Amino acid sequence: MTTLDERPATASAAAEQRPARTTLTMAGAINAGLRAAMERDDKVLLMGEDIGALGGVFRVTDGLHKDFGDDRVMDTPLAESGIVGTAIGMAMRGYRPVIEIQFDGFIFPAYDQITTQLAKMHYRSGGAIQLPVVIRVPYAGGIGAIEHHSESPEALFAHTPGLRIITPATPQDGFDMIQQAIASPDPVLFFEPKARYWDKGEVDHGRVEAQLGGIGGASAGTAEMSRARVAREGSDVTLVAYGPTVRLALQSAEAASQAGIDAEVIDLRSISPLDSDTVVKSARKTGRVVVIHEAPTSFGAGAELSSRVHEQAFFHLHAPVLRVGGFHTPYPGAVHEHDYLPSLDRVMDAVDRVMAH
């Protein structure tokens, strides 16, 4: 780890010192993305509970306090509403705050600040005020945690106009999308699938750097992070997932292939705005769609996506769109969470049902 005096003087110098490609965990990739954004723009500040010397509960901010100091990596009181409110004020003064909500279930005390102030200030001011605030939210289950530590509240915020809701599923997207979110002029909720923090993958450090430094800059980055990606090509059924369930969708596609079923997998990446065009295009090709997410299926992102597919691809469908997700109950204790979460068996059951038509 470098000291303050050893830090490169410019972001470009720092980029030159980094290898072009490295293998990183999701947590390490987000950390590297935060570092790159802070090197690029000294208005980027980090705030959150225990993110300083400790490096955060999941160590996503590890080393950043040491290298950037108290003025740019700030530990905060246990007061989520106050953290978001402070970030709003800082954004109004020209800063780009990146705040961490320690766990998904802790975001609710800040719900009013996020949905009433952060989401609406740009509209309320007639476009005069921009609030480039990023809220990092470790979310979803699969880690054996206690109550309020495994929530998937993304649909609650997606229902509020004025917020961008994005979630990476790979280390590459963790690295790229956190920088795109920080560069965006809009408020962004950056949902990080905590069970995927330790997944490893190759990260190309130059891809997003070239994008943000090229024509369009922040606008190009904002557009890119809002696009779904086809993670696996297929022709018989479309599996749509995001964040923590993308890996499950890919595993399900592999299992389906053993039965002669060619499944396409789409990683949504963005929940609001929702890139339904990519999903509808796939639905018209395969005629069958299964949506997978950890949040309860009732009133969730899958319900919105299902409605759009039925509206725009109805005459191409061989079967109704099916959803596999959490049940309409509070998230259970750790001993029961694997009965609650989508599983390979549940996804394959849905695949068998749509393939029966």
State the pLDDT at residue 13. 52
213 against 202, higher pLDDT = 202
Q: Is residue 33 part of a domain?
A: yes
234 in the same domain as 213: no
Q: Is 246 within a domain?
A: yes
Together in a domain, 39 and 145: yes
Query: Quick check: is 3 in a domain?
Result: no
Indicate if the pLDDT at residue 166 is higher than 70. Answer: yes
Q: Which domain holds residue 255?
A: 229-355
Q: Mean per-residue pLDDT for 93-108?
A: 97
Let me know whether 212 and 269 are in one domain: no
What are the beta bridge partners of residue 241?
267
Domain count, the chain: 2
Q: Give the per-residue pLDDT at 101.
A: 97
4, part of any domain? no
End residue of a domain, out of 190, 225, 260: 225
Nearest CA to 135 out of 187, 85, 65 is that of 187
The alpha carbons of the chain give a radius of gyration, in whole angstroms, of 20
Asked if residue 14 has pLDDT above 70, the reply is no
**1 is a domain residue:** no
Residues 166 and 260 in one domain: no
Same-domain pairing of 209 and 236: no
Residue 5, domain member (yes or no): no
Q: In the β-sheet with 237-241, what is the strand arrangement from edge to edge?
A: 229-232, 263-267, 237-241, 289-296, 322-326
Pick the last residue of a domain from 225, 255, 287.
225
Omega before residue 193 within 30° of 0, cis: no
pLDDT recorded at residue 288: 98
Task: List the CATH number of the domain containing 181.
Answer: 3.40.50.970
> Is 316 labeled as catalytic in the residue annotation?
no
Per residue in 113-161, pLDDT (tens digit) is: 999 999 999 999 999 999 999 999 999 999 999 889 999 999 999 999 9
Per residue in 127-146, is it b (16+ CB within 10 Å) or e — as a string?
Answer: eeebbbbbbbbbbbbbeebe
**Catalytic option among 149, 318, 328, 357:** 149
Residue 307 has pLDDT above 90, yes or no: yes
Give the CA distances from residue 13 to residues 1, 10, 16, 128, 275, in Å, rounded to whole numbers and listed in that order: 16, 5, 5, 34, 36
CB atoms within 10 A of CB 277: 12
- 194 with 50, same domain: the answer is yes
- Model pLDDT for residues 175-205, shown as the tens digit of each residue: 999 999 999 999 999 999 999 999 999 999 9
By C-alpha distance, which of 61, 73, 144 is closest to 102? Answer: 61
Residue (of 168, 348, 187) closest to 268 by Cα position: 168
